Amino acid sequence: MYNFNMHLDTNIHFGKGQIKKLGKDIIKYTDRLLLVYGGGSIKKNGIYDSVVAELKDNNIYFEELSGVDPNPRIESVVEGIKLCKENQLGGILAVGGGSSIDCSKVIAAGVKYDGDPWDLVLDRKKIVDAIPIFTVLTLSATGSEMNANAVISNMTTNQKLGTGMPGITLPKASVLDPEYTYTVPAKHTAAGTADIISHTFENYFTNVKGGYLQARFAEAILKTCFHYGPIACKEPDNYEARANLMWASSWAINGLLSGGSANNWSVHPMEHELSAYYDVTHGVGLAILTPHWMRYVLNDDTLDNFVDYGINVWGLDPSLDKYEIANKAIDLTQDFFCKDLNIPASLTEVGINDENFEVMAKHAANVKGGSIQGFVNLEAEDIVKIYQAAL
């Protein structure tokens, strides 16, 4: 277990009707906000009205930035910064999933930065200050509500990159009301669940030794997703399912699983290329690639990790041959994504062919300094092979 720092300084209000706790948190920092959201579904399901009522009850003035894309783009960031500066806004409230929240984080940092905000995506070290960020979560997926990370896309350069700075772009407060996810359609519930699972895998499959507690915590989140993901897809207003998935989303990627234990991530950089080139839903891309990545990296060195996974998460019989356990666990993972969550099983099914594999693989490797040095090191040619297996 290596040294790490952890500071989870987000005030979490979890549960039904918790929106009424938010105004008090915001007003400690500012009474002028930028309200950021996506395509407008929050106006149909009543969440927008609840949020606006809470802001008005606390005499908080706000401007709005709507239409943030599912893969949030740098253009939205630029627009948000302009609104904040023109209106002297002192904070940002994101209402949505990772897209709105991630966009808000880079807007918040951009308000305090004099150059081109894309600089902050290319080099997170340039983030040295930000106005405070608050969130109301409406999709269980990215965990952005309780971490400092943001992923922003630049469609003109075909880049989708992560940024964010602990302690600066971490939300000050987040409302996690599971009822706010009741209207999320099965398709997005499935993709969100796949995203949570993938975050967990990225931390769980590590070659760092000694993070036993972290591995067991990861298994807790995986079991929760495997148990409740299909229930939430079938019964959208099942509070227990929505609550467990929502809380799992936050803990999969806030440092609990990674601190002291995780490697660089593997599947995310490969998937980011799919989204950058084809604008595929992030969770769908992850679900398609993950089993193929698993089969590609399974070897004598990584076998025990997969055996732990098979026994502790899928309850496979420990007396079986180790490779049998590992392969069965990978098959079960693939079946879960395809059959239980109804996510397309191949890149072909989502309209992706092999024409950009070489350049995407090079991009993915270059973003990570020439190769993905994660659980198992992946050069560009390895990444091409994984893409091909996923066709």
Minimum distance between the CB of residue 176 and a copy of itself, rounded to whole angstroms? 10
Query: Least Å distance between CB 93 and a copy of itself?
Result: 18
Amino acid residing at 308? D
Q: How far apart are CA 281 and CA 70, in angstroms?
A: 8
Q: How many angstroms separate the CA atoms of 284 and 67, rounded?
A: 22
- Closest to a copy of itself by CB, 20 vs 82, is 20
- Please report how many Cα atoms fall inside a 13 Å half-sphere around the Cα of residue 195, on the Cβ side: 25
6 versus 359: smaller Cβ distance to a copy of itself: 6
Given the complex with a copy of itself, which of 34 and 248 has the nearer CB atom?
248
Six-digit token pair at 293?
Answer: 């990545």
Question: Can you state the angle between helices 212-234 and 239-251, rounded to 10 degrees?
Answer: 150
- Please, what is the minimum distance in Å from the beta carbon of residue 236 to a copy of itself? 17
Of the pair 155, 220, the CB lying nearest a copy of itself is at 220
Provide the minimum distance between the beta carbon of 224 and a copy of itself in the complex, in angstroms, as a whole number: 5
Question: Measuring CA to CA, how many Å separate 212 from each of 204, 247, 259, 305?
Answer: 10, 21, 12, 11
Indicate the residue among 24 and 368 with the shorter CB distance to a copy of itself: 24
Using CB under 8 A, list all residues that contact a copy of itself. Answer: 1-18, 21, 209-210, 212-213, 216-217, 219-221, 223-224, 227-228, 239-240, 243-244, 247-248, 251, 256, 259-260
CA angle 139, 141, 142 (to 5 degrees): 115
DSSP at 18: G
Give 159 or 189: the residue with its C-beta nearer to a copy of itself: 189
* 61 vs 239 by CB, closer to a copy of itself: 239
Q: In the bound complex, what is the minimum distance in angstroms from residue 244's beta carbon to a copy of itself? A: 5
Query: Which residues, 6+ apart, have CB-to-CB distance to 263 below 8 Å?
Result: 206, 207, 208, 373, 374, 375
- What is the distance in angstroms between the CA of the first residue and the CA of the last residue of the chain? 37
Considering the complex, what minimum distance in angstroms separates the CB of residue 36 from a copy of itself? 23
265 vs 25: CA distance, rounded Å: 34
Closer to a copy of itself at the Cβ: 21 or 187?
21
CA 253 to CA 98: how far, in whole Å? 12
- Report how far residue 153's alpha carbon sits from residue 32's, in angstroms, rounded to the nearest whole number: 27
Query: Strand, coil or helix: what is 310?
Result: helix
φ, ψ for residue 337, nearest 5 deg: -60, -45
Closest CB 319 distance from a copy of itself, rounded Å: 12
Minimum CB separation of residue 196 from a copy of itself in Å reads 11
